[in-house]
Chains A and B, each alone.
Chain A
């Protein structure tokens, strides 16, 4: 499905919920011999490729695992520093998995709140009077749709640029939110939905959201249909 993720932000910009639909994440695993021809550097506590793009490994991709064992930030699974480990020729040949770094929940929190501020600025900068803020942000890799309810909750969906039917999806997600979060009396409004909250697990919302996402028509179906004679 071409829906990448779903975010919910509350009225004051605080983070409520986040769901990632892990579609085809660009990952590349290769076996390397000494010396390593990619130049690596440490960025944000992760080891990323700074130069040496080839074969599906792009600049900016993070080192995800060595020989099948997931790395832990700058360290391998057994606690050795990765950069030092890779300089040692006796450890080769080894297979390394590179890919887009998976964000921790704190890292997801920041862009969500930042979007809230952008949204507020956007509505003020608009030349039209009574503008309701940013509805859609389009780039060549994804589209970011935002739906603000009358109570100030923002529902944000990141999708493939060719994806349509998102308004329906946003309404459906609003319904799911109003059902699961609100009908649970132990959930305090505007608080983040996470495993720390009593009574409501992040996982409870995953199933209905997944169903809603699968109901959105795929753009690829249309393209195939239009190509057939």
Chain B
């Protein structure tokens, strides 16, 4: 693929800075517009959802992974392939619930929050909520309904950033013909 071979590590670093700045500008503008942290969180989730439904096609076109057979396989693909491809990080998959329908992604670093500090008046803002929306939107396009939220956030004083994903159900009614 010609696009990947042209990318060097230098230009990748430059893109990450611009990406962080862009995301930061977005969040601050949303805060100014809505003036309510809960509302901003909701908007970030919505925006993430719209990104997710498109990103999944790009991901499937470039990575040629097939359909995942169970939630564990889904978790592995998300952590090892998807996050690596788009954010350049590989979170670890831990804290599986006994029923196998919930797990956590532990992110050591988060490119969205480089150099970001949350002020006191935005204590309930989930800065990276866009990621939750992206994961939700992408999985919905492959007929999996999930609930995603941040259970730990370095911006709010925790040690690591932890995303909790819970499997709700398989959306049988939207299944393309032939997939069981």
Contact = CB atoms under 8 A, between A and B. Distances in A.
**Do A and B share a complex?**
yes
Interface of B: 1, 53-58, 60-62, 64, 66-67, 141-142, 174, 176-180
Nearest to A153: B57
A11 B61 contact: no
Q: Which size class do A's interface residues fall under?
A: 20 to 34
Contacts of A120: 177-178
Contacts of A122: 178
Contacts of B1: 175
Interface stretch (A92-100, A128-136, A193-201): A128-136
A182 B177 contact: no
A60 to B, nearest CB: 32
B176 A152 contact: yes
A171 B64 contact: yes
B120 to A, nearest CB: 35
A149 B178 contact: no
Contacts of B55: 182
Nearest to A189: B53
Given A150-B67, A151-B56, A189-B53, A175 B176 contact: no
A182 B59 CA distance: 11
Contact of B58 (A153, A179, A189): A179
A123 interface: yes
A174 B1 CA distance: 13
Given A148-B177, A179-B58, 10 more contacts: A122-B178, A123-B177, A148-B178, A149-B60, A150-B60, A150-B142, A175-B61, A177-B61, A182-B54, A183-B58
A152 B141 CA distance: 9
11 contacts: A11-B174, A122-B178, A149-B57, A149-B60, A150-B60, A151-B57, A151-B141, A152-B174, A174-B57, A183-B54, A189-B54
Contacts of B53: 189
A38 to B, nearest CB: 44
B179 A178 contact: no
A15 interface: no
A130 B61 CA distance: 22
Contacts of B176: 11, 148, 150-152
Contacts of B142: 150-151
Top 4 A-B residue pairs of the complex, sorted by shortest distance between their CB atoms:
A123-B178, A120-B177, A152-B176, A133-B178
Contacts of B54: 178, 182-183, 189
Contacts of B177: 119-120, 123-124, 133, 148
Nearest to B3: A179
A26 B1 CA distance: 36
Contact of A182 (B58, B66, B174): B58
A228 B3 CA distance: 38
Nearest to A129: B180
Interface string A187-226: 0010000000000000000000000000000000000000
